[in-house]
Structure 1
Amino acid sequence: MIFLNIKVFDTTLRDGEQTPGVSLTQQEKLRIATKLDEIGIDYIEAGSAITSKGERKSIKGIAQQGFNAEILSFSRPLSVDIDYCLECDVDGVNLVVPTSDLHISDKLKITRDELIQLSNNAVDYCKDHGLIVELSAEDASRSDTDFLKSVYLSAINHGADRICVCDTVGILTPDSSFELFDKLNEDINVPIAAHCHNDFGLAVANTLSALKGGATEFHSTINGIGERAGNTSFEECVVSIDRLLTNFSTNVNIHEIYDISKLVARSTGVYIQPNKAIVGENAFAHESGIHSDGIIKNSATYEPMTPELVGRKRKFVIGKHMGTHGLENRLKEIGLSVNKTQLQQICNDIKELADKGKTVTDVDLHVIADNVLEINHEDRIKLDELTIVSGNKIMPTASVKITFDDEEILNAGVGLGPVDAAINAVKTVDAFSDVELIEYHVDAITGGTDAFIDVIIKLQKGDKVVSARGTEPDIINASVKAYISGVNRLLRD
């Protein structure tokens, strides 16, 4: 079988950074670009050189790394933009030219002929200065197709190396996407790229249809971040090409997808929804008894791909929908062996707790299992005293007295708030040094100012992740108790 190699153009550092509230430092951009190059991305749009002096410094720093990937900057069809790109030592430019009548007349206030002249002059200027040019037609999906084609062909005659169709407001459908690219492919003899937005949730589907219609390159962002509803999701598109489009391939190391997804999420602070395909925390999680049973017997029954393919691990979630097969598997993971009677009792107790609307954590599972098996654990860390000082003009400060393996320890810490200060005071104990708090969630169980607070956290130590909870009328006490409970769990494991 002949495979068509699809090139991947990553715009996380430009279009992705335009996500509201996201602003990456030079170090963060370089770290992401380095990982993008490592996993096999073909083209990296490092930013928009015209934006600022700091942006140009970031782009130039990436361009000087000697990456295998081609490094580009966004540019308008203006010599001032292109000069800034040249200053950054990039390999090429993503030259963006509006082609819809709406943009030409209402935004630029020029004619179609003037637009073509503007585009061609910019291409000439880039090529005269040794730049690779990918000409992107902004709002191409709302442009007159014949005019759009004339813009592309004219730019190609002036030396444009690649062209890109931008579905700027995400109005394509899979059918119309295929038709557009199929029509353009009839007359255009340079590589054609698809740049889709997700306003109607169709960015990935439209991109795949574009590939079937003749595109040989697609633009995407890690985790699908970007303005409004975001861009084509890199991970969803790459995995779909690998698994679903049997005669297409990319140069991406698919096993590294989860790692770069987490890197971008941490750097940008953009939360990944739990049910997001491929990289969401629930993408390979199973609670249903029927599903868990099937997965244990043959993972293909309820998984279209193995989690290991994208650098993930399968997990069985504790809850009222789980069956005994999934529960037994989870108990084995935490080192507990049970008979059928004990297994059924633990399962019943979990369902009873979940029916009350409670989240069933690892700590709950251990407590329930210990009660059924009559096991008692001696906690190595105990909280003896906790004192908080906080006020309008006072830096929140906490002092704690902890017993760790029968040794009494006194510590203090400061933080952005009283909970942060309390956790920082506790963390100074050696047992906490390599423990990372990766999730923190608070619920008020009852109403009123004296409500019981349920704090659920996730802690990580190496490759081991545990959840823990603390329930108290005081959020600070509940948080510290949950934290210490989780660390005791990690120490036992």
Structure 2
Amino acid sequence: MLDPTDLTKLVYDWNELDRRGPILRRPPRFVDETIRDGLQSPSVRDPSIEQKTELVRLMDRLGLHVVNLGLPGAGRRAQQDVESLLRTIVDENLKILPNCAARTVEADIRPIIDISQRVGVPIEVTAFIGSSPIRAFAESWDLDRLVRHTRESIELIVRNGLPASFVTEDTTRAHPNTLERLFRTAIEAGATRLVLCDTCGHATPDGLRNLLSFTKSLLRGMDMEDQVMLDWHGHNDRGLALTLAISALEWGVDRVHGCALGIGERVGNTSMDHLLLNLYLLGLIDAEAHDLSCLVEYVEKVSSFTSVPIHPSYPLVGRDAFRTATGVHAAAIIKAEAKGELDLADRVYSSVPARVFGRRQQIEIGHYSGRSNVIYWLREHGFDTTDELVDRLFDYAKSQGQTLSDDEIRRVIASGT
């Protein structure tokens, strides 16, 4: 049997070539936005409070550090849900910490203060304001107004003893002069965290690096680099959200935000499940701190609760993630299993170890299949692998234009022709 360390010798890992030092300077930290920003998708159904509670429990099992419970300023139902979820965190002694979103106006912040005081635990307030010139032009905002709202809102949060995080919407398209003035105002008013937002999914890796360099330089100049932490909140309009989130952690951001299944407005947010999966594969997830055995359940329940379907080819969780009907691929998996090497079978045609996450390799029969696919399927389903039956199924599969369903295969077997 192969030792797991021997398996790594069978893969030449170009990802690690010439890497100098650790990938991350500190353990990664996560903010789950599924039941707040994720629900801004126009295609989702708002889960019931019972379903949201179940998701918060799963987030806690996954070792996620913070959950955004919602935006209480949105109305009575949002306030009730936030308070109920907060009480669950307290009553069940969950480790996950709560935060809430708010516009930089008192009407949004007051309900968070009230809920915190009623339950008796602090809630991190993430107060957001638009910062890009395109938004300011559309809204007829001037910078003095933005500064005033920033100062007044952060002072209100701090005065009431709650952690204040300052969120600049559309940070990646904002002018540095605007960001400097807003960041300075927020920090001077007591904010201890800046959340850099790629609200429109505009950033590239170069843009992220430039923005982080600018922000860190500003904090150094204020002698606040150790007092003010940085978050990254990304959207996926260019399909770069996952790459940017990992890069943000690598370049020193304290926390990254994401949503299960990547749900969210327009094309969605950074996929939290893909983020956790990739950090695990990079060896950056502590198994004791993060129970990834429930990662598939987390995604499937978000899909069910929000009525957002999982695409068949969605990594890890999709129906086709570990499923093949291609003869060459199936043959390699079958031969690995025949050696008694399940770890090898998991990795010979996949970079993701299915069994670690409660999934398994599936060999199907289709028009690209070889005879080994047919023999494997028959054995797996308790049928004799006679030459006549194998030939009949093989010939039938070659005459079709798609992978055969189990029911279709059984009908061919039963027909005897």
Q: TM-score, normalised by structure 2?
A: 0.82
Q: State the Cα distance separating 1:16 from its structure 2 match.
A: 0.9
Q: What is the 5 A alignment of 1:434-473?
A: none
Query: SS of the counterpart of 1:41?
Result: coil
Q: State the Cα distance separating 1:179 from its structure 2 match.
A: 2.7
1:278 alignment partner, one of 287, 310, 316: 316
Structure-1 residue corresponding to 2:185: 154
Structure-1 residue corresponding to 2:394: 347
Structure-1 residue corresponding to 2:3: none
Query: SS of the counterpart of 2:70?
Result: strand
Gaps of 5+ in 2: 1-20, 117-121, 220-224, 337-343
Structure-2 residue corresponding to 1:303: 350
Structure-1 residue corresponding to 2:141: 110
Structure-2 residue corresponding to 1:411: none
Answer yes or no: is 1:185 the counterpart of 2:232. Answer: no
Answer yes or no: is 1:330 the counterpart of 2:377. Answer: yes
Distance across 2 between alignment mates of 1:313 and 1:87: 48
Structure-2 residue corresponding to 1:15: 37
**Residue deviations 1:70-110, cap 9 Å, x none?**
11111011111111112222611111121112223432x33
1:319 alignment partner, one of 352, 357, 366: 366
1:38 alignment partner, one of 50, 57, 61: 61
Q: Which has the higher contact order (CA 8 A, sep 6+)?
A: 2
Structure-1 residue corresponding to 2:198: 167
Q: What is the 5 A alignment of 1:82-101?
A: 82-89=109-116, 91-101=123-133
**Counting helix residues as a fraction of each chain, which structure ranks higher?**
2
Structure-2 residue corresponding to 1:366: 410
User: CA separation of 1:309/1:19 partners in 2, compared to 1, >3 Å: closer, same or farther?
Assistant: same
Distance across 1 between alignment mates of 2:83 and 2:155: 23
2:255 alignment partner, one of 184, 192, 217: 217
User: CA separation of 1:259/1:248 partners in 2, compared to 1, >3 Å: closer, same or farther?
Assistant: closer
Distance across 1 between alignment mates of 2:295 and 2:393: 37
Say which one has the larger Rg: 1
1:269 alignment partner, one of 301, 307, 313: 307
1:142 alignment partner, one of 159, 167, 173: 173
Structure-2 residue corresponding to 1:242: 280
User: CA separation of 1:70/1:290 partners in 2, compared to 1, >3 Å: closer, same or farther?
Assistant: same
Distance across 2 between alignment mates of 1:335 and 1:119: 67
Distance across 2 between alignment mates of 1:191 and 1:337: 63
Distance across 2 between alignment mates of 1:312 and 1:149: 48
Query: SS of the counterpart of 1:115?
Result: helix
Structure-2 residue corresponding to 1:131: 162
Q: State the Cα distance separating 1:64 from its structure 2 match.
A: 0.9
**Residue deviations 1:32-91, cap 9 Å, x none?**
222212221111111110111111100000111223111111101111111111222261
Distance across 2 between alignment mates of 1:336 and 1:79: 69
Answer yes or no: is 1:200 the counterpart of 2:238. Answer: yes
Q: State the Cα distance separating 1:279 from its structure 2 match.
A: 1.7
Greater mean alpha carbon deviation, residues 335-344 or residues 32-41 = 335-344
Answer yes or no: is 1:28 the counterpart of 2:56. Answer: no
Q: TM-score, normalised by structure 1?
A: 0.70
Distance across 2 between alignment mates of 1:347 and 1:157: 73
Gaps of 5+ in 1: 375-493
Q: State the Cα distance separating 1:371 from its structure 2 match.
A: 5.0
2:73 alignment partner, one of 18, 41, 50: 50
Distance across 2 between alignment mates of 1:40 and 1:242: 13
Greater mean alpha carbon deviation, residues 194-203 or residues 175-184 = 175-184
Distance across 2 between alignment mates of 1:159 and 1:317: 59
Q: What is the 5 A alignment of 1:251-270?
A: 251-270=289-308
Query: SS of the counterpart of 1:262?
Result: helix
**Residue deviations 1:473-493, cap 9 Å, x none?**
xxxxxxxxxxxxxxxxxxxxx
- Cα RMSD after superposing both structures: 2.2
**Residue deviations 1:323-359, cap 9 Å, x none?**
222332222221123145643432222222x24x6x6
Query: SS of the counterpart of 1:64?
Result: helix
**Residue deviations 1:187-244, cap 9 Å, x none?**
4322211111111222112222222222121111110111111111111111122224
User: CA separation of 1:325/1:178 partners in 2, compared to 1, >3 Å: closer, same or farther?
Assistant: farther
**Counting strand residues as a fraction of each chain, which structure ranks higher?**
1
**Residue deviations 1:400-435, cap 9 Å, x none?**
xxxxxxxxxxxxxxxxxxxxxxxxxxxxxxxxxxxx
How high is the sequence identity, in percent, across the aligned residues? 23
Distance across 1 between alignment mates of 2:213 and 2:327: 46
Kindly report structure 1 stretches of 4+ aligned residues shifted beyond 6 Å.
none
Query: SS of the counterpart of 1:120?
Result: helix
Q: State the Cα distance separating 1:169 from its structure 2 match.
A: 0.7
Contact kept? 1:57, 1:88, Cα under 8 Å: no
